[in-house]
């Protein structure tokens, strides 16, 4: 426990009103107390004793937050306060125990790049949110098992939430990864927020080609400030994969089932976040994952992956960000497409219905887009399965208007790939060639039957499965 | 060595000399329809499950940057936690696969009302905290909990002016039910998880074992009086805090019944006293540290004819001996509880933390118990290089677990130098307690970042205040005032039947003792027989009282009527209260007379005693009429019929 300290003079307390504003700030000011003051607050609802904590900036200005001796927090309503006495001063020093990450001869060297996800984290008093903690020492302090897996170096590239990742970060990341690989590291791990992890995994698959070592993206669905977090296990799995596995591809390494059993290694171009909150949210779509990983072993599920080896990594970060995804819905009006063209978009990926369809109403707009030199590709909003625009007449009609079927590329993958392709050329045929030539498994030749398996809950045989094998 | 006094042998003065003090944490589920942070139905329990989930827990830092001792202890146990889940009462929230929905406002209202009844200061803003529980009883690894009221008090019965002070009342989610805990696997069923409950924490104002029971009963009465507490098996649990002078606060967790509490308090007090005496002797002997010293005895143990050790070796396990300095060796057999030597304290830690849970899990020497022949001990001592007077604690099992056990034994011995280690203890089958966990501290609290605080505005608090019923002691006084005996009034309030009683007392022509008889004796009889299905609503019981007063129902038929009304139905029971009242109404005199004739014509009583003969016939006629006729009327008709013969 932090002990009571000597009370600094009020004007020597830099965080005295941290997070407080308006009436609450006035009250603290008037009463001669502040954040980290130990106080007794007299109110019309009784007396309260505790430590004044900083307030989340998004919270109202009508309450003062107190930490009681029991560890509980409460809010005291400003309008009920009659007096506050300061009885002491005790500042919180929040720190993840930091220990030098031990260097073990013989273990693989792994570099962990941070982009701002919550692999390891601590609490931010101002926002009440969780902010990442990241140095090797901090990581070792919270996940000591890592030292048994690899020799770790970490580098924080940016501190952005997953949803704020974009071309600027993708390019910087690809270049950093390439540089690190050229230095001869045994594997790369990239800590990333999970929301757009599959976008980044896809673009990295195009921007970093022929990697001789594994590039493993990892994150957590439950932040590491919770005892049930998946962060530590994901990180252990990712470091193990980066250091030991023979799979030299861009992969996403996240929980297989929601149980703490094993992780799955998903190919970076075939993976998608499929649930807003489940641990097992990442699924390989229209194919099976590359491998399973647990603390003891990496078990490949298929032989056709790129092996670790001696070769030059190619970094190709060309990108044109004038691309968009258009999620088709019934009764879509042509003006939506016209507006995108008018706004200067050069590439549109449509997520169409069924085998890749849009309504007749938008046909003229598709023609106008093609005439304006806009590259339009068709993917499916069913996510699983191929675009097939020859089965129905409407599909043929749409193709005649310049829309190119993008096989079984996932819409998000087609989106980042189109940006990458347009970074290289705006020539219709060259873009088409780039788009339809698979680089990293984004288009497959075949779809195995078990590339699409969503167990339907409630069925007796599924219940038997979930009881026996856990979920 | 001093004997352990049995419960009942010590006086209040003895406890005062020991400096016994402590308090209670009463947990009580609320009668809400849904759970606290999701829309699952509350209190729909079943052992059936559709899937299992496996998890592990890791300690995390508190808001102030500390690790909690309990958390580290649980991490050492390396348990696989398995949850059994049923889709009808558990959703992705309880599984920790979805963030919480908004706080259940019905639960918050109920908690607010109960806080007001306890006279608490109501907080301005409810902040949800995460209280870490790494035992796995909650899949998130923390319990969401929030303080609603602080600093309340309720009168201590029989001692005017004295109160039981309430430190705080929080609203929190209940944990899972444990199914089993064997080795490194602990299994829970998740149905109870996240049921809203309140925790009432008293200040350490209690001084004799009986006072704990009195305070627990008063708290229970007030919760029942609120009408907001759930009732039935498993809806209430008590944690009992105990310390003696020079000792430490120890928490006995999850005591299911108030009756058990005084005995547990007594034995905890004498355990602490015994531990303090051990400490004093160790200090007097000049012992000021216990180095961790252990020896590998795997080879030496191979010839032991002791089944548990042989089993361990057969499965590739190891045997180690922890070497203790002579002053500690002399205390291994010192009793700290009835039939519980100090060495059991070591065995407890080994069981819980090292997961070596097959008893016996340790042997010690010197000992009065002769589990091993003395020659075997001598061999082991020689193999371990023990000096004269040193103690040897033998532990066996898988190597990793034995390593943990050795550290835990040394740690626990070290704690003996300080006296009483702070810990939570569980109630054992023999009425004593055993080590459960290290006592968690404020370091396990962490603010919940998933939900914003909820303000409790002045308007909302005042609206709740206007709604709350009279507190239990006022209810009791009102019932006594209305003519009920004090014992009946107490029982009625304790059972949450104040409103039923109030309505009964208002029925013209119904004597107050009849109300007490129905609500206390009849209701308890019903519950004992398992005839009470659904709790009876006051409106329904009021109908019974009216019919009793009018003579439309007999006293004797009441158990049957109440059983039928509470939904505990049998094949040809009517399904409306009207139907039940009609079926069970007092029969006309002609029907009684007909039954009397049949009985008097039947087999005669064996006794010659006139009173006994009359009792025999009465019993037969009452049975014949399904108890619908009042006993007095039946007696009169039998006498009349006999007169005519």
Q: In what order do the strands lie in the sheet with A63-67?
A: A81-89, A37-43, A46-52, A63-67, A73-77, B125-126, B454-455
Report the distance separating Cα B490 and Cα B475, nearest Å: 9
- Whether A61 is catalytic is no
Name the closest residue on chain A to residue B55, using Cα atoms: A260
Chain A residues near residue B139 by CB distance under 8 angstroms: 228
A137 versus A286: the higher-pLDDT residue is: A286
DSSP annotation of A377: E
Which of B50-64, B69-83, B280-294 is most confident?
B280-294
Q: Spell out the alpha helix ranges (H) of B495-537.
A: 498-505, 512-516, 523-529
**How many residue contacts between A and B have a Cβ separation below 8 Å?**
189
A82 annotated active-site: no
Q: Pick from A2, A43, A261: which is nearest to B54 by CB?
A: A261
Quick one: closest CA in B to A261, which residue? Answer: B54
CATH topology classification for A109-315: Rossmann fold (3.40.50)
Question: Tell me, what DSSP letter sits at residue B8?
Answer: T
* Surface-to-core class of residue B531, CB atoms within 10 Å of its CB (0-12 exposed, 13-18 middle, 19+ buried): middle
Is residue A316 annotated as a catalytic residue, yes or no?
Answer: no
- Are the beta carbons of B208 and B12 closer than 8 angstroms? yes
pLDDT score for A116: 74
Contact residues, chain B, for A229 at CB < 8 Å: 58, 60
Tell me if B141 and A71 make a contact (CB, 8 A cut-off).
no
Task: Give bridge partners of residue A380 from the DSSP assignment.
Answer: A352
Question: How high is the pLDDT of residue A1?
Answer: 40
Q: Cα dihedral sign for B390, B396, B401, B403?
A: positive
Per-residue confidence band for A132, with pLDDT thresholds at 50, 70 and 90:
low
Identity of the highest mean pLDDT range in A157-161, A389-393, B47-51, B526-530 = B47-51
Range B145-174 average pLDDT:
96
Burial (CB count within 10 angstroms: exposed 0-12, middle 13-18, buried 19+), residue B259: exposed
Mean pLDDT within A223-242: 90
Contacts of A270 (CB under 8 A, 6+ apart): A284, A285, A286, A287, A410, A413, A441, A442, A444
Average pLDDT rounded to a whole number, residues B248-272: 95
Mean pLDDT of B210-239: 93
What is the average per-residue pLDDT within B475-501? 93
Based on the number of CB atoms within 10 Å of its own CB, is A292 exposed (0-12), middle (13-18) or buried (19 or more)? middle
What is residue A287's predicted lDDT score, i.e. its pLDDT?
97
Residue spans in chain A of domains classed CATH 3.40.50.1170: 109-315
Of residues B424 and A131, the one with the higher pLDDT is B424
The helix/strand/coil state of B267 is helix
Note whether B60 contacts A278, CB cutoff 8 Å.
no
| Residue A120, pLDDT score | 55
**Average pLDDT, integer, range B54-72:** 68
Residue from the list A48, A142, A470 with its beta carbon closest to the beta carbon of B51: A470
pLDDT tens, position by position, B552-604: 999 999 989 998 888 777 777 888 889 999 999 999 999 999 999 999 998 88
* Model pLDDT, residue B622: 95
Cα angle A313, A319, A322; round to 5? 160
Query: Which member of A73, A97, A229 has the closest CB to residue B127?
Result: A73
pLDDT reported for residue B58: 83
pLDDT at A127: 42
Chain A nearest-CA distance from B427, in A, is: 25
Q: Which residues contact B552 (CB under 8 A, 6 or more apart)?
A: B581, B585, B586
* Residue B13 in contact with partner chain A when CB distance is under 8 A: no
Considering only CB atoms, which chain B residues are within 8 Å of A65?
125, 127
Q: Where in chain A is the domain with CATH 3.40.50.40?
A: 323-436
Amino acid A121: pLDDT: 58
CA distance A10 to A33: 7
Collapsing DSSP states into helix, strand and coil, what is residue A433? Answer: helix
Residues of A in contact with B112 (CB under 8 A): none
Q: Are A187 and A213 in contact (CB under 8 A)?
A: yes
- Would you state the structure tokens that stand for residue A295, as one six-digit string? 């603390």
Average pLDDT over residues B8-37: 97
Q: Which of B96, B175, B200 to mutate to test the interface with A (most CBs of A within 10 A)?
A: B96
Q: Three-class SS of residue B136? A: coil
**Residue A128: its pLDDT value, please?**
46
A468 sits in which H/E element:
helix A460-469
H or E element, residue A114: strand A109-114
B289-416 is classed CATH 1.10.3290.10: no
**What digits encode the pLDDT tens for the residues B619-630?**
999 999 999 999
Q: Which residue among B51, B65, B461 places its CB closest to the CB of A471? A: B51
CB contacts, 8 Å: A467 with chain B: 49-52
**B contacts of A471 (beta carbons < 8 Å):** 51-53
Residue B606 burial by Cβ neighbours in a 10 Å radius (0-12, 13-18, 19+) = exposed
Contact flag B147-A463 (C-beta cutoff 8 Å) = no
CA distance A432 to B145: 57
Nearest residue of A to residue B136 by CA position? Answer: A228
Rounded distance, CA B344 to CA A428, Å?
82
**Residue B85 in contact with residue B67, Cβ under 8 Å?**
no
Q: What separation in angstroms does the CA of B434 have from each of B330, B336, B573?
A: 22, 11, 49
Residue tagged active-site, from A26, A61, A124, A195? A195
Instruction: Provide, rounded to the nearest whole percent, the portion of chain B with pLDDT above 70.
Output: 96
Using the Cα atoms of residue B117, residue B121, residue B122 and residue B128 in order, give the sign of their dihedral: negative
d(CA A135, CA A288): 34
Range(s) for CATH 2.30.30.520 in chain A? 2-91
**pLDDT on residue B568:** 72
Disruptive mutation site among B49, B59, B72, B125 for chain A (greatest number of A CBs within 10 Å): B125
b or e along A426-465 (b: 16 or more beta carbons within 10 Å of the residue's beta carbon)? eeeeebbebbbeeebbbbbeeeeeebeeeeeeeeeeebee
Q: Which string of DSSP letters, residue by residue, matches A248-297?
A: -SEEEEEESSSSSS-EEEEETTTEEE-SSS-TT-EEE-SS--SEEE-SS-
Average pLDDT over residues A230-239: 93
Rounded to whole angstroms, how far apart are CA atoms A303 and A68?
58
Please identify which residue in the block is written with the tokens 């219905």: A353
Best probe of the A interface among B51, B79, B139, B464, by most A CBs < 10 A, is: B51
- Determine the Cα–Cα distance for residues A200 and A188; give it in Å rounded to an integer: 14
**Is B75:B134 a contact under the CB 8 Å cutoff?**
yes
Residue B262 vs residues A162, B21, B27, B609: alpha-carbon distances, Å? 57, 12, 18, 49
User: Residue B491's CB: how many other CB atoms inside 10 A?
Assistant: 20
Picking from A205-209, B73-77, B381-385, which range would have the lowest pLDDT averaged per residue?
B73-77
Least reliable range by pLDDT among A325-329, A340-344, B1-5, B426-430? B1-5
Q: How far is B491 from chain A (nearest CA, A)?
A: 33
Long-range contacts of A31-34, Cβ-Cβ distance < 8 Å, separation of 24 or more: A31/A81, A31/A83, A31/A84, A31/A86, A32/A84, A32/A86, A33/A84, A33/A86, A34/A10
Q: Is the peptide bond before A127 cis (omega within 30 degrees of 0)?
A: no
Q: Mean pLDDT score of chain A, rounded to an integer?
A: 92
What is the average per-residue pLDDT within B85-98? 96
Q: Please state whether the peptide bond connecting residue B227 to the residue before it is cis, i.e. omega within 30 degrees of 0.
A: no
Q: How confident is the model at residue A130, as a pLDDT?
A: 54
Q: Do A62 and B123 touch (CB under 8 A)?
A: no
**Of the candidate ranges A316-320, A467-471, B74-78, B104-108, the one whose mean pLDDT is the lowest:** B74-78
Residue A264 has pLDDT above 50, yes or no: yes
- Return the higher-pLDDT residue of A92 and A267: A267
Q: Helices marked H in B239-356 — which ranges?
A: 261-284, 307-314, 326-329, 343-353
Identity of the residue in A63, A68, A93 whose CB atom sits nearest the CB atom of B65: A93
Phi, psi torsion values for A11, nearest 5 degrees: -80, -5
Which residue, among B88, B103, B117, has the nearest Cα to B229 in the 3D structure? B117
Residue B211 near residue B21, CB atoms below 8 Å? no
CB of B142 within 8 Å of any CB in chain A?
A: yes
For the question of residue A43 being annotated catalytic, the response is no
Q: What is the pLDDT of residue A122?
A: 57
Q: Which of A111, A115, A118, A241 is catalytic?
A: A118
CB-based contact B134 A227, cutoff 8 Å: yes
B147 in reach of chain A (CB within 8 A):
yes
Contacts for B593-599: CB closer than 8 Å, 24+ residues apart: B593/B637, B593/B641, B595/B621, B595/B624, B595/B625, B596/B621, B596/B634, B596/B637, B596/B638, B596/B641, B597/B641, B598/B624, B599/B624
Q: Per mean pLDDT, which range of A49-53, A169-173, B447-451 is the poorest?
A: B447-451
Banded model confidence at residue B242, pLDDT cuts 50, 70, 90: very high
Mean pLDDT within A123-134: 51
**A2-91 has which fold?**
SH3 type barrels. (2.30.30)
* Residue A5: CB atoms within 10 Å: 12
Residue with tokens 């690894």: B141
* Whether A227 and B54 lie within 8 Å, measured CB to CB: no
On the CB side of A14, CA atoms within 13 Å amount to 0
Alpha-carbon gap: B94 to the closest alpha carbon of chain A (Å):
12
- From the candidates A196, A230, A273, A444, give the one annotated as an active-site residue: A273
Alpha helices in A271-373 (DSSP H): 334-342, 363-371
Instruction: Give the full edge-to-edge strand order of the sheet including A347-352.
Output: A323-327, A347-352, A375-380, A403-405
* CB contact (8 A) between residue B141 and residue A59: no
pLDDT digits (tens, 9 = 90+) for A275-330: 999 999 999 999 999 999 999 999 999 999 999 999 999 999 999 999 999 999 99
**What is the pLDDT at residue B321?**
97
Count Cβ atoms within 10 A of the Cβ of residue B9 and give its class: 0-12 exposed, 13-18 middle, 19 or more buried.
Answer: exposed
* pTM for this predicted structure: 0.89
Q: Which of A111, A115, A154, A194 is catalytic?
A: A194
d(CA B75, nearest CA chain A) in Å: 10
Q: Give the span between the Cα atoms of B68 and A72, in whole angstroms.
A: 15
**Mean pLDDT for the stretch of residues B500-523:** 93
Give the pLDDT score at A208. 98
Query: Phi-psi region for residue B119, left (φ > 0), alpha (ψ -120 to 50) or beta?
Result: left
pLDDT at B444: 75
Give the residue with greater pLDDT, B499 vs A138: B499
Nearest CA of chain B to the CA of A227: how many Å? 5
**pLDDT at residue A390 greater than cutoff 70:** yes
Regarding predicted confidence, which is higher, B459 or B535? B459
List chain B domain ranges.
12-283, 289-416, 470-586, 589-645
| Average pLDDT over chain B, rounded to an integer | 92
Among A227, A281, A471, most B C-beta atoms within 10 A, so best to mutate, is A227
Q: CB-based contacts of B428: which residues, under 8 Å, 6+ apart?
A: B434
Transcribe B144-187 into DSSP letters.
EEEEEEEEEEEEPTTSTT-EEEEEEEEEEE--PEEEEEETTEEE
In A, which residues are within 8 Å of B443 by CB distance? 1, 71
**Contact call for residues A281 and A273 (beta carbons, < 8 A):** yes
CATH number of A323-436: 3.40.50.40
The pLDDT-based confidence of A119 (bands split at 50, 70, 90) is: low
Q: Cα(A64)–Cα(A35) distance, rounded to whole angstroms?
A: 9
Cα–Cα distance for residue pair B622/B628, rounded to 1 Å:
7
pLDDT tens track for A423-453: 999 999 999 999 999 999 999 999 999 999 8
Helix axes A197-207 and A411-424, enclosed angle (nearest 10): 40
Enumerate the residues of chain B whose CB falls inside 8 A of the CB of residue A93.
64-65
């Amino acid at each position: 426990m932090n002990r009571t300290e000597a009370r600094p003079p009020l004007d020597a307390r830099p965080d005295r009103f941290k997070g407080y504003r308006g009436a609450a700030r006035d009250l603290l000011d008037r009463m001669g107390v502040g954040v980290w003051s130990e106080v007794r607050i007299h109110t019309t609802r009784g007396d309260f004793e505790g430590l004044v904590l900083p307030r989340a900036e998004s919270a109202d200005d009508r309450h003062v937050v107190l930490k009681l001796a029991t560890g509980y927090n409460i809010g005291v309503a400003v309008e009920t306060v009659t007096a506050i006495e300061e009885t002491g001063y005790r500042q919180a020093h929040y720190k993840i125990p930091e220990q030098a990450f031990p260097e073990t001869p013989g273990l693989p060297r792994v570099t962990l790049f941070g982009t701002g996800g919550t692999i390891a984290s601590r609490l931010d008093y101002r926002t009440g949110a969780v902010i990442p903690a990241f140095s090797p020492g901090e990581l070792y302090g919270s996940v000591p098992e890592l030292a048994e897996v690899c020799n770790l170096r970490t580098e924080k590239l940016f501190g952005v939430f997953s949803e704020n990742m974009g071309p600027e970060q993708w390019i910087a990341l690809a270049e950093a990864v390439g540089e690190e690989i050229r230095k001869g590291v045994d594997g790369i791990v990239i800590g990333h927020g999970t929301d757009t992890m599959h976008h980044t995994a896809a673009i990295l698959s195009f921007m970093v080609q022929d990697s001789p070592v594994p590039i493993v993206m990892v994150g957590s669905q439950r932040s590491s400030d919770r005892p049930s977090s998946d962060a530590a296990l994901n990180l252990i799995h990712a470091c193990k994969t980066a250091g030991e596995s023979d799979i030299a591809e861009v992969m996403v390494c996240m929980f297989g089932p929601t149980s703490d059993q094993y992780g799955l290694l998903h190919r970076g171009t075939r993976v998608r976040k499929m649930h807003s909150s489940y641990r097992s949210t990442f699924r390989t779509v229209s194919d099976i994952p590359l491998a399973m990983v647990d603390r003891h072993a990496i078990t490949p599920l298929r032989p056709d992956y790129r092996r670790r080896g001696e070769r030059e990594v190619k970094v190709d970060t060309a990108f044109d960000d004038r691309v968009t995804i258009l999620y088709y819905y019934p009764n879509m009006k042509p003006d939506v497409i016209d507006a995108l063209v008018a706004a200067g978009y050069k590439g549109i990926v449509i997520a169409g219905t069924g085998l890749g369809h849009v309504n007749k109403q938008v046909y003229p707009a598709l023609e106008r887009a093609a005439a304006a030199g806009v590259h339009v590709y068709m993917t499916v909003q069913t996510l699983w399965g191929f675009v097939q625009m020859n089965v129905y007449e409407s599909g043929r009609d749409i193709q005649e208007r310049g829309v190119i079927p993008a096989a079984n590329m996932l819409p998000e993958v087609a989106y980042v790939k189109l940006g990458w392709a347009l970074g290289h050329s705006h020539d219709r045929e060259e873009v088409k060639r780039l788009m339809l030539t698979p680089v990293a498994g984004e288009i497959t030749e075949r779809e195995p039957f078990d590339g699409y398996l969503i167990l339907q809950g409630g069925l007796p045989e599924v219940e038997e499965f979930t009881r026996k094998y856990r979920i | 060595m001093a004997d352990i006094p049995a419960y009942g042998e010590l006086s209040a003065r003895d406890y005062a000399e020991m400096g016994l003090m402590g308090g209670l944490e009463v947990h009580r589920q609320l009668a809400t329809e849904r759970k606290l942070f999701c829309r699952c139905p509350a209190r729909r329990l079943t052992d059936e499950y559709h899937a299992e989930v496996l998890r592990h827990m890791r300690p995390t830092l508190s808001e102030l940057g500390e690790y909690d001792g309990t958390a580290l202890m649980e991490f050492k146990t390396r348990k696989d936690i398995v949850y059994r889940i049923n889709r009808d009462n558990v959703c992705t929230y309880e599984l920790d696969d979805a963030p919480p929905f908004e706080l259940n406002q019905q639960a918050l209202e109920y908690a607010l009302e109960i806080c007001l009844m306890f006279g608490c200061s109501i907080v301005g803003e409810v902040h949800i905290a995460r209280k870490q529980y790494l035992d796995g009883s909650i899949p998130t690894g923390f319990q969401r909990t929030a303080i609603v009221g602080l600093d309340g008090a309720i009168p201590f019965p029989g001692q005017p002016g004295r109160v039981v002070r309430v430190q705080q009342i929080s609203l929190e989610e209940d944990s899972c039910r444990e199914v089993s805990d064997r080795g490194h696997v602990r299994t829970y069923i998740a149905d109870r998880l996240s049921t809203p409950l309140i925790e009432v924490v008293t200040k350490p104002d209690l001084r004799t074992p009986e006072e704990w029971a009195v305070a627990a009963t008063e708290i229970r009465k007030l919760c029942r009086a609120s009408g907001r507490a759930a009732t039935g098996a498993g809806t209430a649990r008590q944690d009992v805090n105990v310390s003696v002078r020079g000792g430490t606060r120890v928490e006995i967790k999850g005591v299911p019944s108030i009756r058990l509490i005084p005995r547990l308090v007594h034995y905890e007090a004498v355990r602490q006293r015994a531990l303090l005496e051990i400490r004093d002797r160790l200090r007097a002997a000049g012992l000021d540290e216990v180095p961790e010293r252990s020896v590998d005895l795997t080879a030496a143990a191979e010839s032991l004819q002791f089944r548990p050790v042989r089993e361990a070796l057969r499965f590739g396990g190891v045997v180690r001996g922890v070497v203790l300095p002579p002053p500690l060796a002399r205390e291994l057999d010192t009793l700290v509880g009835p039939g519980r030597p100090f060495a059991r304290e070591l065995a407890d830690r080994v069981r819980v933390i090292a997961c070596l849970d097959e008893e016996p899990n340790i042997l010690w020497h010197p000992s009065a118990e002769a589990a091993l022949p003395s020659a075997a001990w001598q061999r082991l001592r020689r193999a371990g290089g023990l000096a004269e007077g040193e103690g040897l604690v033998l532990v066996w099992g898988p190597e990793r677990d034995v390593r943990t056990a050795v550290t835990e034994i040394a740690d626990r011995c070290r704690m003996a130098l300080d006296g009483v280690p702070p810990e939570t203890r569980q109630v054992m089958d023999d009425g004593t307690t055993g080590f459960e966990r290290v006592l968690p501290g404020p370091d396990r609290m962490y603010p919940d970042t998933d939900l914003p605080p909820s303000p409790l505005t002045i308007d909302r608090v005042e609206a709740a205040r206007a709604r709350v019923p009279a507190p239990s002691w006022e209810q009791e006084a009102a019932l006594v005032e209305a003519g009920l005996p004090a014992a009946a009034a107490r029982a009625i309030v304790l059972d949450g039947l104040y409103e039923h009683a109030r309505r009964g007392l208002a029925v013209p022509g119904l004597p107050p003792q009849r109300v007490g008889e129905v609500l206390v004796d009849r209701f308890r009889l019903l519950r004992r027989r398992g005839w009470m299905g659904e709790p009876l609503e006051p409106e329904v019981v009021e109908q019974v009282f009216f019919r009793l007063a009018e003579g439309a129902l007999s006293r004797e038929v009441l158990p049957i009527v109440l059983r039928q009304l509470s939904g505990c139905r049998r094949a040809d029971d009517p399904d409306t209260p009207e139907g039940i009242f009609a079926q069970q109404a007092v029969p006309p005199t002609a029907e009684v007379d007909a039954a009397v004739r049949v009985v008097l014509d039947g087999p005669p009583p064996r006794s010659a005693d006139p009173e006994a003969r009359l009792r025999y016939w009465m019993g037969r006629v009452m049975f014949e009429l399904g108890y619908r006729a009042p006993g007095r009327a039946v007696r009169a008709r039998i006498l009349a019929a006999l007169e005519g013969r």
